[in-house]
Amino acid sequence: MRAVIQRVLSASVRVEGEVVGQLDRPGLLVYLGVTHDDGPTEVAWTARKVWDLRLLHEEQSASDVGAPVLVVSQFTLYGDARKGRRPTWQAAAPGPVSEPLYDAVCAELERLGAHVERGRFGADMQVESVNDGPVTLVLET
């Protein structure tokens, strides 16, 4: 599982012009990619890491300050462009495998106490964000 985490002042996700997820206060924007061998262990680790990571101002975590989290599925985190000019997506798990794991990460974040907003899995999404810093971190299980 890969997650790209950005500290943001605000963020929103639109699908066909409709806002489906939004942070209207500082929090974390998480792009989440799932690979073939991910499972419950990676779900738990990723959710806990996102929630407890001291990435916010004054080395605070989202759990310290109750910051919201917007989670957007992004299979392209597993794109491989080392050869040729066209990336391959073979390392990304297919939708029937990755969607339940995406949902599980969101549910685990909620179980930990996070207010979670979501993109729409598999949709063509337009993501807007105002980065804070900018601060961006890549996590990989």
Catalytic residues: 74-76
Residue 20: in which H helix or E strand, if any? strand 18-23
Q: Is the CB of residue 9 less than 8 Å from the CB of residue 109?
A: no
Alpha helices, DSSP H, located in 7-92: 40-52, 62-65
Residue 95: in which H helix or E strand, if any? helix 95-112
State CA 61 to chain mean position distance. 16
